[in-house]
Amino acid sequence: MSAQTVDAEPMAAVGQAKMTARDVDVYYGEKRALHSVDCDVIENEVLSLIGPSGCGKSTFLRCLNRMNDTIDICRVEGNITLDSQDIYDKELDVVQLRARVGMVFQKPNPFPKSIYDNIAYGPRIHGVSSHKDDLDGIVQRSLEGAGLWQEVKDRLAEPGTGLSGGQQQRLCIARAIAVSPEVILMDEPCSALDPIATAHIEELIDELRQNFTIVIVTHNMQQAARVSQKTAFFHLGELVEHNLTGELFTNPKDERTQGYITGRYG
């Protein structure tokens, strides 16, 4: 069954597609988790992926930086590109790909290291820089970029795990942007945070959009509505509707989208 995704007729004046997915199928063993997904991620935009648990939104997110490679029984078919380059190309260096397509997870997962080393780790292993002055600069810029610098600048040597949950998540975002990725994937980045910490992250997402392209999985529809320009609704492994966020939440075209976002879904 080919997915008849509802697309915005105009999706007016779109920017450049940073990533494209064409006819993407994902299998976990025998089970098909994604059905022929076609989806573009536009540069410097935030794309929200929403849908009920098990709908395939996280699976799709993980395809975008080949996190699914770590799961043995997982098989990805179809074509996914980053700047028109096939990311499943055998020649492609996966570590390099993940430096370009960074990820922030549901639960803040700082390394058991100092705040400073949490940020400096990536640039060091990717060989971006090993020089102390350069690293200092990267650490400061990344923490500033994640809106955390003012709060931690006097205690960079303290362990990252000693920060509050919201601060830890911003530390993880700072860690993700330290290697200058082009795309940032976020899997439920606020689900473990209180509303104030959530607001900080959402504000941050809006600022990061100027320099990065962001794809976020969220169960919180109000959050999707607040932070993203485009929203994609997944259901039973199918991309049902992909449209401008403002349009999708006021006037969804597909009944399944309508049912889900209004809380009628059976």
Partner 1 sequence: MPQDHIVRSFDQELVALKRSIIQMGGLAESQLESAMQCIVRRDVQLAGKVVQADERLDACETEVDAGAVRLLALRQPMATDLREVVAALKIAADLERIGDYSANLAKRAIALAQVPAVRPVNAIPRMGRLAQELIKEVLDAYSDLDLERALAAWRRDEELDDLYNSLFRETLTYMMEDPRNITPCTHILFIAKNIERVGDHATNIAETIHFLVAGQPIARTRPKGDTSSFAVVSPESSQET
* C-beta closer to partner 1: residue 164 or 250: 250
Count the Cβ atoms, other than its own, within 10 Å of residue 29.
Answer: 11
* C-beta closer to partner 1: residue 138 or 224: 224
Residue 260 backbone phi and psi in degrees, to 5: -70, -50
Q: Least distance from C-beta 35 to partner 1, angstroms?
A: 23
Treating both helix axes as pointing N-terminal to C-terminal, what angle do 165-177 and 132-145 enclose, rounded to 10 degrees?
130
| Dist. CA 151–CA 156, nearest whole Å | 10
Q: Least distance from C-beta 174 to partner 1, angstroms?
A: 31
Among 222, 235, 236, 242, which residue interacts with partner 1 (rule: CB under 8 A)? 222
Three-point CA angle 18, 36, 79, nearest 5°:
45
The stretch near partner 1 (CB under 8 A) out of 23-31, 40-48, 199-207, 219-227 is 219-227
Q: Are 26 and 75 in contact (CB under 8 A)?
A: yes
Site for partner 1 in 246-265 (CB under 8 A): 249-252, 255, 257-259, 261-265
127 binds partner 1 (CB under 8 A): no
Residue 117 identity (one-letter amino acid): D
> Which residues of this protein are in contact with partner 1, per CB under 8 A?
221-222, 225, 249-252, 255, 257-259, 261-266
